[in-house]
Amino acid sequence: MSPARGRAQLLAPYAVIGEPPEPDLEAIASIAAHICGVPKAVVNLIDDTHQYQVAAHGFTQAVCDREDSMCAISMTLPEPVYLPDARTDERWANSPFVTGAIGNVRFYSSTQLITPRGDVLGTLCVFDEEVREITDAQRQQLELLAHQVVDVLELRRQSFALHDAIATLEHTREELVRSNEHLAAFAGQVSHDLKNPLASVVGYLHNLSEVGVVAAEPEASWCTQRALAASQRMSDMIGNLLDFASVGGSLSFQRVDVADLMADLTDDLRDAIASVGGTVEVDGLLPTVRADRVQLRAVLQNLISNALKFRRLHRPPQVCVSAAPQGDHWLIRVADNGIGIPPDRREQAFALLSRVHDESAREIAGNGIGLATCKRIVTAHGGDIGLADSPGGGTTVWFTLPYEATM
């Protein structure tokens, strides 16, 4: 124990001082007394100022000052103490428990309670008002019982620690739920407040672009088209931010056949795939999982759309979706042959509003929200997500779903 750490702080996690006696500790005290054939036994915990009899046999437990405690001396020694007559040892001869001021102890045996970390909590003590001896076998049994006392105390400490951890996690979960609800509400309000005036701006720009004098003037026409494109990008970003704020909170779990989901998705993306001369294929069997269908679709759609978007010049995009069991989860991969993500930028790829592709992707439209949304959804399902190289170049985005979240 660190010198700076008080003994009260050491004993507090066991939560026995000032509490009703622990039945298991009382049972051990009773066994100790019977093994030695003495009328009294006690489990003592000792802090910097007091001795606490937290379990006793043969008398009512009490509290005394540490300076009066016989076991406050015993617990500092390297070995258990066995005294046929405490009056014969000067270390205890003047103790009020020996002189008659508090008690008339003669036979006295005290075994230290040492935790797995090496801290001495107190003692297991047996005593009598008669002079007596105990055998080596009885001494060994007392030492075993002292270990049992420590086991009971450690189990109690761990149980309270687990209870506190569960309470903390539950509080954190409730805070996260509230945070998600507030985020979704805030995003919805902001989206509404921004989209309405933005729609008016877009409308005015459309009208302006159709005015004859503007349409006839190349520079003016170019400016209005640039403004319209910027407005559309802002509208897309607002929509994507709203999506990001909305996903990953409350999930509606159901059986989802990922193969069927992919068939629906590729059908919906048919025009987008054809427009870039791409292909989207499934390699092998895809699992049926327990997931939120809408949000799992959003993950796959984001990943496939990114693969089509961040393609190499003069090279038709090829996207391959596959799955395999791995450890205690399903591993689902979306691999492409696109421009890839540099290894030194992959760690930041899932950060909100992060753009991690190299200079060749500067002109590709995007706002850095898609992968952040995917991570939010996968995390809410209890999975993980990451990046790897694709064979022959490109990027593989993988994500996992725990088996307990699958069917």
Q: How far apart are CA 400 and CA 386, in angstroms?
A: 9
Angle at 242 between CA 237 and CA 247, to 5 degrees: 125
Name the helix (H) or strand (E) containing 210: helix 136-210
Answer whether 7-163 and 251-407 agree in fold: no
**Which is nearest to 283 in space by CA: 318, 256, 316, 312?**
318
Write down the residue that tokens 């170019």 correspond to: 222
Pairwise CA distance, residues 205 & 315, whole Å = 36
Picking from 398, 396, 370, the residue whose alpha carbon sits closest to that of residue 384 is 398
- 383: nearest Cα among 338, 323, 343: 323
pLDDT at 189: 66
pLDDT of 4 reads 37
Q: Which residues contact 217 (CB under 8 A, 6 or more apart)?
A: none
Give the pLDDT of residue 118: 94
C-alpha span between 95 and 105 (Å, rounded): 9
Gap between the Cα atoms of 99 and 109, Å rounded: 17
Which helix (H) or strand (E) is 148 found in, with range? helix 136-210
The pTM of this model reads 0.51
Q: How far is CA 284 from CA 36, 320, 332, 406, in A?
A: 72, 10, 11, 18
Strand pairing partners for 40?
A: 127
Grouping H, G, I as helix, E, B as strand and the rest as coil, residue 394 is: coil
pLDDT of residue 206: 76
Cα 353 from Cα 374, distance rounded (Å):
13
Token duo for residue 340: 């890839």
Rounded CA separation 142/33 (Å): 9
Residues 100-113 as b or e (16 or more Cβ within 10 Å = b): eeebebbbbbbbbb
For residue 333, the SS3 value is: strand
d(Cα 9, Cα 144) in Å, to the nearest integer?
Answer: 26
- Domain 251-407: CATH architecture, name and number where available: 2-Layer Sandwich (3.30)
Strand 279-283 relative to strand 318-326, pairing? parallel
pLDDT score recorded for residue 32? 96
Is residue 47 a contact partner of residue 7, using CB atoms and an 8 Å limit?
Answer: yes
Sequence-distant (6+) residues with CB within 8 A of 66 are 46, 47, 48, 49, 50, 51, 72
Q: What is the pLDDT of residues 66-83, one digit of tens each?
A: 999 999 999 999 999 999
What is the rounded distance in angstroms from the CA atom of residue 187 to the CA atom of residue 240?
A: 10
Q: Where are the beta strands (DSSP E) in 115-261?
A: 120-128, 253-257
Fold classification of 7-163 is: Beta-Lactamase (3.30.450)
> Phi and psi (nearest 5°) for 212?
-55, -45
Measured between alpha carbons, how far is residue 189 from residues 186, 369, 370 in Å? 5, 19, 21
Q: What is the pLDDT of residue 346?
A: 72
The neighbour count for residue 277, using CB atoms within 10 Å, is 11
What tokens appear for 379 in the block? 């995390």
Asked whether the beta carbons of 296 and 256 are under 8 A apart, the reply is yes
Neighbours of 137 (CB within 10 A): 9
What pLDDT does residue 343 have? 76
| C-alpha–C-alpha distance, residues 397 and 390, integer Å | 9
* Confidence at residue 202, expressed as pLDDT on a 0 to 100 scale: 76
Q: Which positions of the chain have pLDDT values less than 70?
A: 1-5, 180-195, 214, 233-234, 236-250, 352-369, 404-407
What does the domain layout of the chain look like in residue ranges?
Answer: 7-163, 251-407
Contact yes or no for 335/395 (Cβ under 8 A)? yes
User: What are the start-end ranges of the H helices in 211-315?
Assistant: 212-216, 218-246, 258-268, 270-275, 293-309
Distance CA 203, CA 315 (A): 37
pLDDT at 354: 54
Angle made by CA atoms 289, 294, 298, in degrees to the nearest 5? 100
pLDDT reported for residue 244: 58
